[in-house]
Structure 1
C-alpha cells in the first residue's frame, strides 16, 4: 500500500483513492453493520462508480471522501473526508464531511480524530469557509462525532431521496465554519 498521504492525524493517514483500493472499499460497502444507515449495501459496480467519482472530485476540487489508513500498520480504516452533496433541499448544494469506518475501529475515537484533522485540512489548506454534515436522525454515533468536532445542529429534515426508507428518511444537518474551528 503506498504511504504518500495528503495529510495525517496522530493515528491516521488520508489519501486519494487508487484502483488497487477497490477490494478494501468493496469489503466496507458490503458489511451490513457498517452500511446500516444506508439504503443498501453496494456491489462491485456501485463501488467502482463511487471510487471513480471520488478520484474525479479530487482531481477537480482537491478534496473527496478520502481513503483512510492506520499509520502504525497501514490497515484500511475506512472512508472519511468531504464531498459535494446536491439534492432537492433549501440548503443544497453543500460540502459535506462524512465517514464510514470499519467496525473493528468503532468506539476508538478514529472518526472524531479523523474528522477533526480533516476540518483543519479543509479550512487551513483548502481555505473552505463552511462544512456541513448530515446523517439519519437515528444514527446517534455519527451525530455524537459531529458534536465532538464542534459542529452545531442546524435543522432536521426529510431526505428527499430516502422517502421510501421509513427508518432512514429523517435526517439531521450540522454545520461548522472556519471561524468556529
Structure 2
C-alpha cells in the first residue's frame, strides 16, 4: 500500500519514491492529458507509460535516482513525477543529469513543482554528490522555465533539440544548469 511506502526522501508536502506498477493507471491519465503534454510531441499511451515506469525503475536500480514517483504526504495521493534522469541525446552538454517534472493538472499552481524540484536538487548535491544538474525545456514552455529560475538555475543557452527536429514549435529548447556550490550558496 502506498501510504506505507518508505520514501527515499520527503519535502514539506511531498514524498519521493521508486515507481510501483500500480502507478501506471494514474500516470497514463496524466500522460494522456493534452494540456499536461502541451510541450511534448504528443500524448503517451498506456503502453508507453508502462515502458517509462519500467525505465525509471531500472534507472533507479542502476544509478540511485530517477524521475521519482511523487505522493502528497497529507493524503498519500500519487500526483506525478519530479526528479532526475540521465540524458544521452546528441548535444555538446550530454551525457548530463536532467531535472524534470510532470504533475496532474489538478495539482498545478500549488508550488509542488518548485518545492519538489528544489528538494531533488538538495538530494542530488548532498546525498548523491552530483556536481551539476541541467534542465531542458522547449523555449515556448515558460511555466517550466519559471520553475527553473525559482530553484536557482541559470540559463546557459538555447539549442535545437535533435529529438524534436520534426516538431518545429518545440525544437528550440532552453538549457539551464546549477552546480552544487551555487545551490548551497543560494539555499543554505
TM-score (norm 1): 0.98
Could you give the per-residue CA deviations for residues 16-61 of structure 1, whole angstroms, max 9, x where no partner exists? 0011111111111111110111101111211111111000000011
Aligned to 2:26: 24
Tell me by how many angstroms 1:88 deviates. 1.4
Could you give the per-residue CA deviations for residues 147-167 of structure 1, whole angstroms, max 9, x where no partner exists? 000001000001111111111
Aligned to 1:85: 87
Tell me by how many angstroms 1:113 deviates. 0.3
Moved over 4 A (4+): none
Aligned to 1:5: 7
Tell me by how many angstroms 1:142 deviates. 0.2
Aligned to 2:16: 14
Q: Which has the higher helix share?
A: 2
Aligned to 2:49: 47
Tell me by how many angstroms 1:12 deviates. 0.4
- Superposed counterparts of 1:137-152, under 5 Å: 137-152=139-154
RMSD between aligned residues: 0.8
Tell me by how many angstroms 1:104 deviates. 0.9
Equivalent position to 2:68, from 63, 66, 76:
66
Aligned to 1:102: 104
Q: Could you tell me how far apart the structure 2 residues matched to 1:99 and 1:51 are?
A: 14
Unaligned runs of 5+ in 1: none
Unaligned runs of 5+ in 2: 184-188
